[in-house]
Structure 1
């Protein structure tokens, strides 16, 4: 009998980064207060019905429930309050995403002007047709436009 060895299904995705970015007419700390809350993405993503958290801080899991019935479970990998950035990985979903890593970062441009950048690297599950990258790009762009609308 072969000895069992450590294994995991979690792998970082390969692919080109998909980036969305908006400039908002507010201070960076106010922008970070919105987009830097791992449990609070339903504030600026209208397609999210609600989010349930398991744990807190790095390693916490969030389950995002979408209005269309889809579900996504993600783990917070890193979060830096001072640098205003965080990263996370999708570990389960019903959206046709095989692997996804994401980062969000807020930077000050001027006293009352700041920028948020959302970077996503994702791979579709086998059988997902063309248009996957456009779907991911459109989702991120729409979410950040909502942030601009809500804060600007």
Structure 2
């Protein structure tokens, strides 16, 4: 009998980073309190019905429940409160995403001006559908950050 070896289904996606960014007239810590809450993305993504968490901090899992019945389970990879950035990986979803890695960061541009940047690298389940898939991901992130502008604007 062959000896079993360590393996995993979690692999980093390949592809070009899709970037969405907004500049908002508020201080960076106020912006980070909105976009930096791994468990709180339903505050600015209306498609989310709710988020449930398992654990806390790095390694925790969030399960995003969408109004249309889709779900996504993501793991928090890293988080730095002082630097105001975090990354996560999708480990299961019903959205047609094979692999997804994302980062959210906030930078101060002055006393009352800050930028939020959401970077996503993702691959579709169906190979060859990159153009429509990339546009879907870009539009999703852009709409979400536009909502942050309305929340804090």
- Measure the CA separation in 1 of the matches of 2:116 and 2:133: 23
Cα deviations by residue, 1:2-21 (Å, 9 ceiling, x for unpaired): 11110000000000000000
Change (3 A) 1:15 1:127: closer
1:58 — aligned with what? 58
- Equivalence map 1:64-83=2 (5 Å): 64-83=64-83
Structure 1 runs, 4 residues or longer, greater than 4 Å off: none
- 1:126 is displaced (CA, Å) by 2.2
2:147 — aligned with what? 146
Q: Is the 8 A contact 1:61 1:73 kept in 2?
A: yes
Count of aligned pairs between the two proteins: 152
Secondary structure, counterpart of 1:144 in structure 2: helix
Q: Is the 8 A contact 1:85 1:103 kept in 2?
A: yes
Q: How big is the alpha-carbon RMSD for the aligned residues of Structure 1 and Structure 2?
A: 0.9
- Equivalence map 1:20-99=2 (5 Å): 20-99=20-99
Cα deviations by residue, 1:80-116 (Å, 9 ceiling, x for unpaired): 0000000000000000000000000000001111000
Q: Is the 8 A contact 1:96 1:128 kept in 2?
A: no
Cα deviations by residue, 1:46-88 (Å, 9 ceiling, x for unpaired): 0000000000000000000000100000000000000000000
| TM-score, scaled to structure 2 | 0.97
